Amino acid sequence: MDANTLGLMAAGFLHVFSPMNMGMMILGVTIGIVIGCMPGLSAAMGVALLLPLTFGMKPETGLIMLGAIYCGAIFGGSISAILIHTPGTPASAATAIDGYQLTLKGKAGKALGTACTASFFGGLLSCISLYFFAPALAQLAMKFGSPEYFWLALFGLTIIAGVTSGSMVKGLMSGAFGLVLSTIGMDPMEGVERYMFGFDALYNGINVTCAMIGLFSMSQVFMLIEKAIKERGNVIDFEDSVILKAKELAQIFPHVIRSWIIGNIIGILPGAGASIACFLGYDTAKKFSKRKDEFGKGSIEGVAASEAANNAVTGGSLIPTLTLGIPGESVTAVLMGGLIIQGLQPGPELFTKYAEMTYTFFAGFVVTQFFMLLIGLGGCRLFAHISRLSDAILIPCVFVLCVVGSFAINNSFVEVGIMFLFGFFGYLMRKLDLNTAAVVLALILGPIGERGLRRSLTLSGNDISILFSTPICWILIAMCILSSFSPLLMKVLKKRKKTEGAG
């Protein structure tokens, strides 16, 4: 790490302590925990819904707030997982196993304290890799030209479409569907209107924020209104302390470190996410624990491993998002949308031209973890009661916020219509096992890929061999093929393992 980078890091910490940044961090963490602890809402949905709030802010402040919501929501999911046995977000599914058992034993405070402390360490440690790997990867991205950007966009799509969907082809279809939608608007080279049908609002294409609010937030409203409204389980009042003793801290420490490494790697790998990391962290802790028999019956090690892993994903997933423009999961896809709205493009420029802003955001991400610890430990009793908020109240509130949020983008009714349409589409896609995150990603990456492809062809006089002209192109092509067929390979390997086991 050179002196310039160290200087930027220090400047980042100086800038982050402005009253506005601190205020937005506190607000973001609190909103994030509230969203995360409510089983009807997800982290991606929360970040998408609150994206319009950042329009009037400085880019770093807006990003800090979105990052704080992200971290808060991932931790918040553990509150309802521990107290009412319903994970607020899928990332806390593994936490519910031992967390709820601890609650039944009258140790809910201990479980919440463990979850909060482990989340803090997981998140904080993930910042280390963010500081070290992000600039290095950005340096590599500086070597990218138009052909590389075309393959990079395709790689981003294949990996998220292939990994996160149940069916590989359906995932890829979702991505291709999004790619077609991304062509709506003015042609970037020829200046021709494409599929605008007289709507001037579509001149710059489908607004990605509208699409995200629709696909993540509005679709969730549709999911809520289709089911009978159920009463949530009662919150068990707890008397025990949420502060861990030194002995307990020592007990969870090795698991936190292991889960941090697991979560970080999972986060860096585009397509995988916190919901996978929490189970991997939990399983690994079970394998290495001296108290294996306590797992499933109320183990603080299990809670710590799951929570440290899912929070370690946060910093890791920001690395490919900020450097290459490939979001690690749906929440970072929304965060990337926030970045684009501020007029910034992910890539090397974030570490050169906008380095001050980027390092302020990184510093904000570090400080956010401390606020998460304080607000989480101090407010978990209050958040526990909020987690019982009925879906009947959430439905109108989230809908109104979806409408006002999408209207605020361009003060236009057309955007509200687009949001609603995407919401309904998103609902059907989720019901039919298609991948909404792949559509969002295609809307973001589509124009990048198109520009890359068409610029390359223009430069080469329509000679397609330019797309295969550099070693980086070939590496990216290999990665595209590998990621497209990775689910298939995994399936074959699993089958072979099963057959060997049976034999």
Partner 1 sequence: MKRTDLYICVFMYLFCAFFQYETGKFPEGARHYPYFVIGLLFLLTTVRLYDMVKQYMKDRHVINDLSETFKGFQPKQFWTMFAAFLGFFVLMYFFGFYVASLIYILFCLQYFKIPKKYMALVLLVMLVLTYFTFSWFLNVPLPKGEILGEFL
Interface positions with partner 1 (CB under 8 A): 52-53, 55-56, 167, 169-170, 172-173, 176-177, 179-180, 182-183, 187, 189-190, 192, 194-195, 222, 225-229, 390, 392-393, 395-397, 399-401, 403-404, 407-408, 411, 413, 416, 420, 431-434, 446, 450, 453-454
Task: Pick between residue 4 and residue 411 the one whose CB is nearest to partner 1.
Answer: 411
CA angle, corner 37, sides to 36 and 39, nearest 5? 90
Taking the CA atoms of residue 32, residue 36, residue 37 and residue 40 in that order, the dihedral angle to the nearest 10 degrees is: 130
Least distance to partner 1 from the beta carbon of 177, Å?
6
Give dist(CA 464, CA 472) in Å, integer. Answer: 16
Q: By the 8 A CB rule, do 72 and 30 touch?
A: yes
Least gap, CB of 185 to partner 1 (angstroms): 11
| Nearer to partner 1 (CB atom), residue 309 or residue 438 | 438
- Nearer to partner 1 by C-beta: 101 or 387? 387
Contact between 69 and 35 (Cβ < 8 Å): yes
With left for phi above 0 and alpha for psi between -120 and 50, is residue 346 left, alpha or beta? beta
- What 3 state SS string does 121-162 have? HHHHHHHHHHHHHHHHHHHHHCCCCHHHHHHHHHHHHHHHHH
Nearer to partner 1, 52 or 156 (CB): 52
User: Tokens standing for 252?
Assistant: 């969870």
* Cβ at position 398, least distance to partner 1 in Å: 10
Cβ–Cβ < 8 Å for 49, 94: no
- Residue 218 CB, nearest approach to partner 1 (Å): 9
Distance CA 309, CA 24 (A): 25
Q: Which helix (H) or strand (E) holds 386?
A: helix 355-386
- Of 20 and 250, nearer to partner 1 (C-beta) is 20
Minimum gap (Å) between residue 396 Cβ and partner 1: 4
Nearest residue (CB) to partner 1, 72 versus 298: 72
Q: Cβ atoms within 10 A of the Cβ of 465, count?
A: 8
- Smallest distance from partner 1 to CB 453, Å: 7
Please give the distance of CA 163 from its chain centroid, rounded to a whole number: 15
Considering the complex, what minimum distance in angstroms separates the CB of residue 417 from partner 1?
8
Q: Which is nearer to partner 1, 167 or 469 (CB)?
A: 167
